[in-house]
Amino acid sequence: MSEAPDDPLALASRVGLPSDCLYLREAFPRERWTTDGLHPTARRWLHMHGGFRAHQAEMGAMIEAWRAGAVDASTLHRALIPALQQFLQHLDGHHRIESGHYFPALRQLEPRIAAGIELLDRDHDAIHAHIEAMVRTGRALHEAVAGRATDAGDRVERLAEVLDLAGPQLARHLYDEEDIVIPLIALRGDPLE
């Protein structure tokens, strides 16, 4: 499902959540999330998101090293492709658990936040399109390097462009998801327990 280009809540253009999705964060603001009393599921959720952010930064640093001429395409390939595979598997699995289990349970736990959960679920569709693009361009890079193709550098650049495009959208989604889910779990508990 593709997003409407003129939708202000589309992941590609959204700059934040609408106020009707933020009432839980107002009751449990981010400043309180670092306290020891945060629900274990909320802590795990933040830890998982921190892992995604760190993984993105690691892959970005690899690309920057290639762009700076510090590594060649073959060296980059050996480090980036396994990192990309791990990142994509982790992200896809995380989204499957959220969309298949947590989001329906959270909607039931707090019906008033259903529109926010629907938005996050819609984000997953947009992110999945980026995942597919990363798989395609990652595979093209792998085939180019494995086949010693002369266009391996071009394949790196195509993958870099896909990562550059996906990065800000994934960051927006993670931040917005935290603003909805962390306060909800912190205030109401884990709906799957």
pLDDT by residue (tens digit) across 98-147? 999 999 999 999 999 999 999 999 999 999 999 999 999 999 999 999 99
Give exposure, 75-104, as e/b (b: 16+ Cβ within 10 Å): ebbebbbeebeebbeebeebbeebbeebbe
Closest CA to 180 of 122, 118, 133: 118
Lowest-pLDDT range of 24-38, 64-78, 130-144: 24-38
pLDDT above 80: residue 40: yes
Distance CA 119, CA 10 (A): 8
pLDDT band at 26 (very low <50, low <70, confident <90, very high): very high
CA distance linking residue 161 with residue 133, whole number of Å: 10
Q: Closest Cα to residue 19, out of 184, 180, 188? A: 180
What is the predicted pLDDT for the residue at 1?
45
| Token pair in block for residue 177 | 């998801």
CA distance 146 to 171: 32
Secondary element (H or E) of residue 68: none
32: left (phi over 0), alpha (psi -120 to 50) or beta: alpha
Q: What is the pLDDT of residue 37?
A: 79
Rounded CA-CA distance 151/81 in Å is: 17
pLDDT tens-digit series, residues 176-189: 999 999 999 999 99
